[in-house]
Structure 1
Amino acid sequence: MAGTYHNYIDGEWVGSETGETFENRNPADQSDLIGHFQQSNSADAERALEAADEAATEWANTPSSERGRILSTVAQQLAERKDELTDTLVREEGKVRSEAAGEVQRAVDIFDYYASKARDVGGTVKPASSPEKTLYTVNEPLGVAALITPWNYPIAIPAWKIAPALAAGNAVMYKPASLAPNVSRKLIESLDDAGLPDGVINYVTGPGSEVGATFTTHEAVDAVSFTGSQKVGNTVYEQAASDQKRIQLEMGGKNPTVVMPSADLEEAVDIVASGAFGVTGQACTATSRAIVHEDVHDEFLDRIVAYAEDIDIGPGLEGGEMGPQVNQSELDGTLQYIDLGESEGATLETGGTRLDDDDHADGYFVEPTVFSDVDPEMRIAQEEIFGPVLAVISAPDYDTALDIANGVEYGLSASIVTDDLTEANRFVDEIEAGVAKVNEKTTGLELHVPFGGMKASSSETYREQGEAGLDFYTISKTVYMNY
């Protein structure tokens, strides 16, 4: 029997004041009810904010070594629960096991990384203009950080927001996406078990219009970090900026991979296909456009179609290679874009169909889809789809390919496949994206370097991950010590 799960406020698991819950179901099998979660409202969010505000000063004054010890304990506990967390993630979000296991390991590694970095939240000493003066800086926590995360990486993205916020000495308000709240609930369990003081982290589930809006507008909140859609992100920005909160937004992408004639085509197909169809295309960094030089376009197209048709689609718990979309709305959106692509005049090379036979009847499965004859101005080449749909675009030369790659409103991740060093270096210099890759897929990130986008993909304020992840959660104080 499915359980009922609660909010975590001031060190206790508590029900919502509404007395209402919402269901969480397996996207690969809608008959599989995972649990009931709290349908919280603004009063619940305010209660959590009061707890965080009260706990913030004590946590800020906790020695950084102690903060790091707690984060290290969390990493150890997550590692011990890896199989459980992997199954939880597969069941509630739909990733296949290998993808889910990789994401859980990413969360382990992030907490381990920031456990050690907690000791580095210090400052710098600079030469002063007088021999009787010391000049230095101190990095201090902001206070209370409100974190809002999406459903597509429901433990990795919370980890890369929560861990640096805590390492820097902030109290945390956290709202997970309602489509995947369970694996992050277990992350909160590990933080509690590791000895995090009451009120330092608070977990509240429920609608963004109530919980999220309270997080972004409440006077007790000093910083807001959001990952999600551009539409919602813009709303968050407007709400949080009204009283000059520090803001960090990471939003959508329309990520290209450019394939040049010097590339190894087998390698290029593997890079593009894994970027386009991995995690069912449900990643902000997913490869949505393959911009292929005309000399190798036809052979590349034949190979990418064969690759897509060879993918085993099915539930991750049963060994599938590509899982379902997360819910009916996401599936409908993908199918609408496929219809749109055909109506715009693109050629549907393969896929494009919802799978609803016996093995797929209770899930949100769609075939990996490849379009050719795509004009760069078509909507399927301009707008984020968030499903396993790849637009293959022909280009006569490098300069045209680059113009096409840059010719969208987004600028998150981009890659080129080439053995030409000049093309590789030009691409790194000229691509309008926060992440530039050479001979790699657009997805996949190292945790110790900055991550973030340009243009409509980001607020272009602060980066996430690595040492840059700590910058967002601290403010610098300059000290003049005249002795």
Structure 2
Amino acid sequence: MVQPYKHEPFTDFAVEEERNAYLEALKTVEGYLGQDYDLIIGGERVTTEEKIISYNPANKEEVIGRVSKANQELAEKAMQAAVEAFKTWKKVKAETRADVLFKAAAIIRRRKHEFSALLTKEAGKPWNEADADTAEAIDFLEYYGRQMLKHKDGVPVNSRPNEYNRYDYIPLGVGVIISPWNFPLAIMAGTTVAALVTGNTVLLKPASTTPVVAAKFVEVLEQAGLPKGVLNFVPGSGAEVGDYLVDHKDTRFISFTGSRDVGLRIFNRAATHGDGQLWLKRVISEMGGKDTIVVDKEADLELAAKSIVASAFGFSGQKCSACSRAVIVEDVYDQVLNRVTELTNELKVGNPEDNSHFMGPVIDQSAFNKIMDYVEIGKQEGRVVAGGEGDSSTGYFIQPTVIADVDPKARLMQEEIFGPVVAFSKARDFDHAIEIANNTEYGLTGAVITTNRDHIQKAREDFHVGNLYFNRGCTGAIVGYQPFGGFNMSGTDSKAGGPDYLLLHMQGQTTSEMY
């Protein structure tokens, strides 16, 4: 009997034994830095001359690994392997498919610190952030396995005398999974196994900055008994391999997590009907946010300040759910701003292998340049009260930055920065704060800090985001507890880690038999 789902606990690094275990895991990962990783097509390993080289963003000379890079010819071979494997995988019992996920979860749980240490090295994640990423990957495996067991017999429908009707869910076909670098284990794993457990076959194209952790995860699924051809590992260029697979006539669905602009590009291309294509492609898309924490005048102001700092600067603000806008009712604006400034100035930034550092680097030079450009824009649009400096000499480090007195329509309050920068705006009252919170094209997460029950109810009704939190930060959704996804330009509100997410990877079929 499958045990009820409970989310994977986070590690308490205050315990010496856990700290030592993490340091050992870092040594384990250092032992295999610089290795080569192959493509996997139809269960066979394929080596290419051209490689994607993964570097440590905290120590940019350190090579994490070299991953073979797919081209269109190899992408086509992978597609045909996936088409062929679908013929048999779609008929494998749901219980068997779920068992692959449960076995993979057990393997990762035994190697939890190793996977987290790899995230520290490859993605620049501090210990707690890496640990949460790995825990979430385990959660997705456990949760989606159980959800498939719930969906396997379809749902009841009515039958009349001498008639038997059934409504069953069947797989879609071949899915293209395009996963992000900011949760390179959790989101990559979750989107991949949601497609697999529902009976689809997959071409996985991970982010080019974090391909090694994806390669390690694919090895785990092989070890867990996933048949050949069901998952094909094809890292490569978005312009070459990504577009080719999105456009392919045999692609049935695309599951994408990333930027607004790339998401819109995929959505548009997927809508085009190609020669020989028998279906409308389905797109599951999570495209980012411009997330606001609203602080009411009736609020725990210390909680508000701590929530803003944790949500804005956790993993250097590189979360689509990160707080990049703080909208404070004017009665308490100065108090909250001053406390956030104090707390921000206490944060330590440095190599995340040292657990005393709250923040590590941003992901690469391109991100560093973009974020620092926004800091310069912020100096024109407001006043910098904390941070504002960056140093990319050894790694891509940016100080956590608070910019005060920003107009709600300014660029800093409208455009996704994806870095450790939070802009403060003043609201006349609570109604005005909600109005400002809604004035972006995104609608992913938001939080409201207030002790006023009427204002909580107003926010429930009027704050238009997919994930709304009260009296806590706006990051940290847990699989099965806070299904995650947003409105408007934040994507298709697909609610990852929620009860209907797997249904997006299947289609309903009605059968009716007369007796």
Shorter-chain TM-score range: over 0.9
Q: Secondary structure at the match of 2:55?
A: strand
Query: Which of 486, 491, 505 matches 1:453?
Result: 486
Q: Secondary structure at the match of 2:315?
A: helix
Q: Per-residue displacement from partner, 1:255-291 (whole Å, max 9, x unpaired)?
A: 0010011111111111111100001000101001010
Paired residues, number: 474
Mapped partners of 1:63, 1:395: distance in 2 = 56
CA drift of 1:12 comes to 2.2
Mapped partners of 1:101, 1:125: distance in 2 = 40
Query: Which of 140, 145, 156 matches 1:125?
Result: 156
Q: Structure 1 counterpart of 2:255, which letter?
A: S
Q: Structure 2 counterpart of 1:124, which letter?
A: V
Answer yes or no: is 1:172 the counterpart of 2:208.
no
Q: Partner residue of 1:330?
A: 367
Q: Partner residue of 2:125?
A: 95
Query: Which of 416, 439, 442 matches 2:471?
Result: 439
Query: Which of 84, 100, 105 matches 1:75?
Result: 105
Q: Structure 2 counterpart of 1:265, which letter?
A: L
Mapped partners of 1:397, 1:454: distance in 2 = 25
CA drift of 1:190 comes to 0.3
Q: Per-residue displacement from partner, 1:240-263 (whole Å, max 9, x unpaired)?
A: 111320111110200001001111
User: Which ranges of structure 1 fall in alignment gaps of 5 or more residues?
Assistant: none
Answer yes or no: is 1:399 the counterpart of 2:431.
yes
Q: Partner residue of 1:321?
A: 358
Q: Secondary structure at the match of 1:138?
A: strand
Answer yes or no: is 1:291 the counterpart of 2:327.
yes
Mapped partners of 2:456, 2:87: distance in 1 = 49
Q: Per-residue displacement from partner, 1:36-72 (whole Å, max 9, x unpaired)?
A: 1122211111111111110012111001111111111
Report 1:237-276 matches (<5 A).
Answer: 237-243=267-273, 244-276=280-312
Query: Which of 179, 195, 212 matches 1:182?
Result: 212
Report 1:142-161 matches (<5 A).
Answer: 142-161=172-191
Q: Secondary structure at the match of 1:424?
A: helix
Q: Per-residue displacement from partner, 1:21-41 (whole Å, max 9, x unpaired)?
A: 131110000121111112221
Query: Which of 313, 319, 324 matches 1:277?
Result: 313
Q: Secondary structure at the match of 1:69?
A: helix
Answer yes or no: is 1:306 the counterpart of 2:342.
yes
Q: Kindly indicate whether the alpha-carbon contact (under 8 Å) linking 1:450 and 1:468 is maintained by their aligned counterparts in 2.
A: no
The percent identity for this pair of structures is: 36
Q: Kindly indicate whether the alpha-carbon contact (under 8 Å) linking 2:79 and 2:203 is maintained by their aligned counterparts in 1.
A: yes
Mapped partners of 1:110, 1:82: distance in 2 = 14
Q: Per-residue displacement from partner, 1:419-476 (whole Å, max 9, x unpaired)?
A: 111111110111111111111211111212532111111135x433222221110000
Q: Secondary structure at the match of 2:476?
A: coil
Q: Secondary structure at the match of 1:466?
A: coil
Q: Per-residue displacement from partner, 1:176-231 (whole Å, max 9, x unpaired)?
A: 00001111111100000111000000111111011111221111111111110011
Q: Structure 2 counterpart of 1:227, which letter?
A: T
Q: Kindly indicate whether the alpha-carbon contact (under 8 Å) linking 2:148 and 2:198 is maintained by their aligned counterparts in 1.
A: yes
Q: Secondary structure at the match of 1:318?
A: coil
Answer yes or no: is 1:227 the counterpart of 2:260.
no
Q: Partner residue of 1:472?
A: 504
Mapped partners of 1:404, 1:477: distance in 2 = 44
Q: Partner residue of 1:199?
A: 229
Mapped partners of 1:173, 1:98: distance in 2 = 30
Answer yes or no: is 1:420 the counterpart of 2:449.
no
Q: Kindly indicate whether the alpha-carbon contact (under 8 Å) linking 1:216 and 1:239 is maintained by their aligned counterparts in 2.
A: yes
Give the TM-score, by structure 1 length: 0.96
Q: Per-residue displacement from partner, 1:77-98 (whole Å, max 9, x unpaired)?
A: 0111111111111101111011
Q: Per-residue displacement from partner, 1:5-32 (whole Å, max 9, x unpaired)?
A: 111111122113xx21131110000121
Q: Kindly indicate whether the alpha-carbon contact (under 8 Å) linking 1:241 and 1:247 is maintained by their aligned counterparts in 2.
A: no
Q: Secondary structure at the match of 2:331?
A: coil
CA drift of 1:398 comes to 0.9
Q: Structure 1 counterpart of 2:473, which letter?
A: K
CA drift of 1:355 comes to 3.3
Q: Secondary structure at the match of 2:353?
A: helix
- List 4+ stretches of structure 1 deviating above 3 A: none
Q: Partner residue of 1:367?
A: 399
Mapped partners of 2:406, 2:56: distance in 1 = 34
Q: Structure 1 counterpart of 2:489, which letter?
A: A
Q: Secondary structure at the match of 2:52?
A: strand
Q: Kindly indicate whether the alpha-carbon contact (under 8 Å) linking 2:444 and 2:466 is maintained by their aligned counterparts in 1.
A: yes
Tell me how large the CA RMSD over aligned residues is. 1.2
Q: Kindly indicate whether the alpha-carbon contact (under 8 Å) linking 1:117 and 1:167 is maintained by their aligned counterparts in 2.
A: no
CA drift of 1:117 comes to 2.1
Q: Secondary structure at the match of 1:317?
A: coil
CA drift of 1:123 comes to 1.0
